[in-house]
Structure 1
């Protein structure tokens, strides 16, 4: 090789997902995608997340590597989050995230130092945007700093411009303004009720989560690249505005290879097999109900939804985590509910969501509006009833219902949930004649996702451009 020839750079990325299932899933899928394009990957889960994943998939000796069957160059490492395995992270939410903000960075620093010392080929860091430490670690070990945002670009932009919201009186004021927000670059208009739940707060704006948000979205400005689990065609204006700030690449939806055929478990709970039950039902007749892996709701709302499901007469699968109300309140369904819905309703603590959504018997999804759930439902052509509970879910609902028009709200204007309204919305969605316009729109958006993921699609082109630019950046680091 002549002196003028550039040596071929192989990216070797350390990947750190946030320790929540909704973040781990796209990180695992991205690791597979990048490894299939020639990356070396060292994937780092917390001991706790690894424990829950392996516990949910086997009752014998816990597997040491969730990527063992992938056949790709993905090395798997775990790190302590600073808490014992038996610590209830959901019940002790604030204490856990205090540790993630203040104590976890030192544990990461020690781990990365050891990894870089043992393998000098490590040259880049792909870290969840909600961590507060990426730039510090990247600078210390001379790694290219890549921020992976697992939610929509709209959510990123709102957090990114939190100081604008503060300046204009829509956030962090005694009496926050309630008129439309029309000054965020690339965002035409959004109402305060559609902001992420943490940005709807008035007095309580110095919680642990708020401090994490402030620090993380200050730190992301130092990233060399931002990659985002969204689709250019869905958020064009918002993405263009972000690209004026930093190198930003929309590479979503980040799904497993073959979509429904992933062989790497990311579930924190054992999955019930719903396939036999759902296959006995007519096409499009089943409503799938799930409120995700993390958010909680009230016992009253669960009871109203349960009664609404009974009144609707619709067949359904309902994923009900044991801690959906609280870790210490497991009894939340109306008395006799399971007996009354026997045969037309299936209640499970957890299941393979993609497997259910891809079944032709499923014709609707009552969802908490997690971004993974919205993307998966869209890809399967299933319209939504939206019931946001926490954080980005309110903003995702705005995207789904108001902008993309692929679903309906379960409730409007923060009104109390009632069983009659739940029943009415379910019946409206599940009768094709009445919900025909939404179903037609879902098909249009589904085709946008499919096209974006194609060989010449926007997300594939953006991913390849990101890889090219990353290799150039790694080359610059090597010269310095």
Structure 2
């Protein structure tokens, strides 16, 4: 019998590509062939970042194919209203053609990011087994499924999801409560984008009914109340790229990784380094950028700071404070992008100043690293509540009267975090739970086997 062949589709953003690529390796390890779909734009960026020719098709056991996203080369892929509208218009016909006319390759199953769940009906009509993958906290998925009830109860507007009243909702007991103003779709700056994203989310939640199974990058001990309430969501995390061949660099990064930072970490004492990274989307203005720099200087500790090439607003020329680079030269390192999983595994890391994106959250948890939370938008506020109020493995950074996180706040909270033995102990306990889940015989390991077996039943 031929091996099952999975066709995998992420939403075209860094935080979505990473866990679905990790899932790809889990399936390859279980005897699958995998074809991974990137947009043409992201495919070019990934292969440029790893210095491999873009026309390469089969790398490290993964077969890569591309579809257009409908945007011009110079357009901003962080304009999520424009991107999602374009995807819905352009991509379906290319996806159907790919499934129908892929030469000698016969796909047996289709796994779609739930944020691309509209594509599941195409695969279902082709007779493929279908599955949905949720790349964020399962608690957020539960909130998404509650949208119709929130509309019915008069909590949010049915047109754009705007809160009709300032309220706090709790979808499932013992999960973090959510302020209606901070629901993920309400975190975008302009009303037009908020409306598009809200309606796109509603479309995908409805379309997710075409998934025969839904899995997520979490584990039972991390969100136990959620999985007790919704046993149809199968946790398979924490996913990890440990299955990747050493012959190839990371195939899911849109930026060139600074590998030299690992040698620098090797020279630092155990539990001494503050790791600072804000994912692929967070933007700072110049004042906040400088306050963070001065706050890191105030700690008088070694730090590794990921200053993404587009971390600051393109219309503003953000600069380091005068003399900062010289003053911290012996203990601070600023890099464009990091091999984050390897960094967080390193014994020199003491804590993680994070935007609380789910990939960063799950990676920090898996390595027992305590957090200083600096959420930017969307689900990150919910994840912060998990970290600080439910799991108690981190602290929040607070805004001052000017709406900034001040240098003094950064300096004092780092010291408070690293002296809090309870947080450090809880971080290590959660690390053990995560490792136990992913090990052979663990709940997530068994769920992955169950998922693979389901997809193989053709």
User: Normalising by structure 2, what TM-score?
Assistant: 0.90
Rounded to whole Å, the distance in 1 between the matches of 2:163 and 2:63 is 50
Rounded to whole Å, the distance in 2 between the matches of 1:305 and 1:193 is 29
Rounded to whole Å, the distance in 2 between the matches of 1:445 and 1:260 is 28
After TM superposition, the structure 1 = structure 2 runs for residues 153-232 of structure 1, keeping only pairs within 5 Å, are 153-172=138-157, 176-182=164-170, 184-185=171-172, 188=175, 190-192=177-179, 195-199=182-186, 204=191, 207-232=195-220
Local SS of the residue matching 2:70: coil
Is the 8 Å Cα contact of residues 9 and 471 (structure 1) preserved in structure 2? no
- What is the number of equivalent residue pairs in this alignment? 451
Rounded to whole Å, the distance in 1 between the matches of 2:195 and 2:86 is 13
Cα-to-partner distance string for 1:321-363 (whole Å, 9 max, x where unaligned):
1211224434243333222322111111111112222221110
Cα-to-partner distance string for 1:193-249 (whole Å, 9 max, x where unaligned):
795432467993853222221111111123111011110121122123223xxx421
Rounded to whole Å, the distance in 1 between the matches of 2:9 and 2:41 is 14
Is the 8 Å Cα contact of residues 273 and 350 (structure 2) preserved in structure 1? yes
Instruction: Please state if 1:271 is matched with 2:257.
Output: yes
Q: Out of 45, 48, 66, which is 1:52 matched to?
A: 45
Instruction: Please state if 1:253 is matched with 2:238.
Output: yes
Rounded to whole Å, the distance in 2 between the matches of 1:80 and 1:404 is 41
Rounded to whole Å, the distance in 1 between the matches of 2:341 and 2:270 is 17
Q: Out of 2, 25, 28, which is 2:21 matched to?
A: 28
Is the 8 Å Cα contact of residues 367 and 388 (structure 1) preserved in structure 2? yes
Q: Give the root-mean-square deviation of aligned CA atoms.
A: 2.6
Structure 1 residue 421: Cα displacement: 1.0
Local SS of the residue matching 1:232: coil
Local SS of the residue matching 1:293: coil
Instruction: Please state if 1:379 is matched with 2:366.
Output: yes
After TM superposition, the structure 1 = structure 2 runs for residues 44-443 of structure 1, keeping only pairs within 5 Å, are 44-58=37-51, 61-62=53-54, 64-65=56-57, 68=59, 70=60, 72=61, 74-90=62-78, 92-115=79-102, 118-119=103-104, 121-172=106-157, 176-182=164-170, 184-185=171-172, 188=175, 190-192=177-179, 195-199=182-186, 204=191, 207-243=195-231, 247-257=232-242, 263-272=249-258, 273-411=260-398, 416-430=404-418, 434-443=419-428
Cα-to-partner distance string for 1:53-83 (whole Å, 9 max, x where unaligned):
111121x744613x52x3x4x3221222223
Q: 1:238 to 1:9 in 2, by over 3 A?
A: farther
Aligned to 1:478: none
Structure 1 residue 39: Cα displacement: 1.5
Aligned to 2:432: 447
Local SS of the residue matching 1:467: helix
Q: 1:31 to 1:86 in 2, by over 3 A?
A: same
Rounded to whole Å, the distance in 2 between the matches of 1:89 and 1:201 is 14
Structure 1 residue 106: Cα displacement: 2.3
Rounded to whole Å, the distance in 1 between the matches of 2:163 and 2:189 is 7
Is the 8 Å Cα contact of residues 124 and 210 (structure 2) preserved in structure 1? no
Structure 1 residue 372: Cα displacement: 1.1
Q: Out of 417, 437, 445, which is 1:460 matched to?
A: 445
Q: 1:127 to 1:389 in 2, by over 3 A?
A: same
Q: 1:194 to 1:204 in 2, by over 3 A?
A: closer
Rounded to whole Å, the distance in 1 between the matches of 2:347 and 2:411 is 22
Is the 8 Å Cα contact of residues 288 and 366 (structure 1) preserved in structure 2? yes
Rounded to whole Å, the distance in 2 between the matches of 1:18 and 1:377 is 23
Is the 8 Å Cα contact of residues 170 and 192 (structure 1) preserved in structure 2? no
Give the stretch that moved more between structures: 369-378 or 273-282.
Answer: 273-282
Rounded to whole Å, the distance in 2 between the matches of 1:174 and 1:13 is 38
Is the 8 Å Cα contact of residues 29 and 243 (structure 2) preserved in structure 1? no
Structure 1 residue 170: Cα displacement: 3.7
Structure 1 residue 189: Cα displacement: 5.3
Q: 1:276 to 1:464 in 2, by over 3 A?
A: closer
Q: 1:302 to 1:53 in 2, by over 3 A?
A: same
Cα-to-partner distance string for 1:367-423 (whole Å, 9 max, x where unaligned):
000111111112222111010101111111111111111111012799642221111
Local SS of the residue matching 1:402: helix
